[in-house]
């Protein structure tokens, strides 16, 4: 089962690529498992940049699945389907 993972801003600097097509095994297809797979693939720098929060409580990344923040889906338990788009967004802003 293939999903697309997109990396934005500083996360892209670590992965060195803007997006990847990623193979997930059925039964191993939640956002949580996908993140663990990505940590394995991109190493400790990726993990450091994506896990937990900054001092002050701002999460290091927000995760979108098909345009929706997973906090408004099933959190890291959100299950991915074939063709889903996962986007990793570090804290940024603009106006």
Partner 1 sequence: MLGAYTGKMLEVDLGSGKLSDVPLDEEMAKTYLGGKGLGLKLVYDEFRPDMQPFDPDNLLIFATGPATGLKIPTGGRYNIVCSKSPQTGTVGSGNSGGKWGPYLKFAGYDAVLFRGISKTPVYLNIADGKAELRDASDLWGLTVFAVTDELSEINGNPKKTSVACIGPAAENLIPFTGIMNDKYRTAGRTGLGAVMGSKKLKAVVVTGSKRVEPANPDLLKERVRVSMQKIRENPVTGPKGGLHTYGTAVLVNILNEHGAYPTRNFREAYFPEADEQSGETLVEKYLTGRSGCWGCPIICGRKSDVPEGPYSVRDSEGPEYETIFVFGSNCGITELDALIKANHLCDEFGLDTISMGGTIACAMELVESGKIPEEKLQGLNLRFGDVGAMLDAIWRTAYKAGFGADLALGSKKLAEKYGAPELSMTVKGLELPAYDPRPIQGIGLNYATANRGGDHVYGYTISPEILGLPEKLDPASIEDKPRWTILLQDLASAVNSAGVCLFTTFALGLPEYAGMLEAATGQALDADKLLKLGERVTNLERLMNNMYGFDRKQDTLPKRLLKEPVPFGPAKGQLSRVPEMIDEYYRLRGWVDGKPTEEKLKELGLA
Which stretches of the chain bind partner 1, using CB under 8 A? Answer: 6, 8-10, 12, 18, 54-56, 58-60, 62, 64, 66-69, 71-72, 85, 87, 89-95
Rounded (5°) CA angle 54-35-49: 30
CB of 43 to partner 1, least distance (A): 20
* Nearest distance from C-beta of residue 59 to partner 1, angstroms: 7
Burial class (CB in 10 A: 0-12, 13-18, 19+), 76: middle
Q: Locate tokens 């097509």: which residue?
A: 21
Nearer to partner 1, 6 or 47 (CB): 6
- Pick between residue 44 and residue 92 the one whose CB is nearest to partner 1: 92
The least CB distance from residue 25 to partner 1, in Å, is 25
**Of the candidates 46, 60, 43, the residue with the CA atom closest to the CA atom of residue 12:** 46
């Amino acid at each position: 089962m293939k999903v697309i993972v997109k990396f934005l801003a500083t996360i892209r600097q670590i992965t060195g690529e803007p997006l990847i097509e990623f193979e997930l095994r059925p039964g191993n297809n939640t956002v949580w498992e996908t993140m663990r797979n990505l940590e394995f693939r991109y190493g400790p720098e990726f993990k450091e940049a994506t896990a937990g929060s900054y001092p002050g409580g701002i999460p290091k990344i927000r995760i979108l699945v098909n345009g929706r923040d997973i906090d408004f889906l099933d959190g890291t338990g959100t299950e991915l389907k074939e063709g889903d788009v996962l986007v990793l967004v570090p804290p940024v802003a603009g106006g």
